[in-house]
Amino acid sequence: MSDLGPLVPRRRDMHPVPYDPDYKTSVTRSPNWPLLSMESTPSEETGPRFGHSMLGPLDNNLILNYSRDPEKPAVGERILMHGRVLDDFARPVPNTLVEIWQANAGGRYRHIKDSYFAPLDPNFGGCGRTLTDDQGRYQFLTIRPGAYPWPNRANDWRPMHIHISVFGHSFGQRLITQMYFQGDPLIDRCPIAATIKDRGQLDRLVAPLDMSMARPLDFLAYKFDIVLRGRRQTMFENKLEGM
């Protein structure tokens, strides 16, 4: 199948609602008019590309990529985050850029506007990137981020989570999402998570523990597959679209 062609329209029912009073900043950010799904254009169906030569050897190792000193690793519970990037038709998306950013083990971001009381880890930058292999697989070695409070209601806390950005075969296939952790009780108390009204869709953002990829006496593993919109194909009488 060619990598070129129109994109499959997004399913609005799988996205968070834009307006939810319990998530107070959505009140001012939400659009006043209904959203429209437009047909994709050539600029959205092609590029951009990201070359292997632009990645460093530690870009997907957040435990070491900020300090770059094996004797000074990041502090926290070591984990392996891994999975596959697929399209709507369960086909792997190879050579695609996956970027992540997260808080440290105490729940604080390395950002000038983060004023949470938890200390910064001098050896943890909180971001990484990698390219998927031929089977769409990716992985990051990192630490499990801490929960943190945020000024929404009187005592709201964000669950432990990792932010993810993925470029598919084109800009129109970019996805920005979050990964939560299995068993975190704060997921059910988070107003941001609650903007996803279908519990089945919210559960897709929760990574299960994967002991098959854990390393004894080193790290636990969490598996998180990512699905991007596929591309339309010409419809043939003996071949279903997308097959």
This prediction's pTM: 0.87
Residue 93: helix, strand or coil by DSSP? coil
Based on the residue annotation, tell me whether 15 is a catalytic residue of this protein: no
Tell me the CA distances in angstroms from 237 to 91, 192, 234, 240, 241, one per residue in order. Answer: 22, 44, 10, 8, 10
From the candidates 137, 163, 189, 232, which is the catalytic residue? 163
Based on the residue annotation, tell me whether 11 is a catalytic residue of this protein: no
Based on the residue annotation, tell me whether 137 is a catalytic residue of this protein: no
Based on the residue annotation, tell me whether 52 is a catalytic residue of this protein: no
Based on the residue annotation, tell me whether 180 is a catalytic residue of this protein: no
Query: Would you say domain 12-31+59-228 falls under CATH 2.60.130.10?
Result: yes
From the candidates 129, 161, 169, 229, which is the catalytic residue? 161
Q: What residue spans define the domains of the chain?
A: 12-31+59-228
Per-residue pLDDT of the chain (243 residues; tens, 9 = 90+): 345 667 777 676 777 888 999 999 999 999 988 777 777 777 666 666 666 678 999 999 999 999 989 999 999 999 999 999 998 889 998 989 999 999 999 999 999 999 999 999 999 999 999 999 999 999 999 999 999 999 999 999 999 999 999 986 676 667 899 999 999 999 999 999 999 999 999 999 999 999 999 999 999 999 999 988 776 654 444 444 444
Distance CA(18)–CA(27), nearest Å, equals: 8
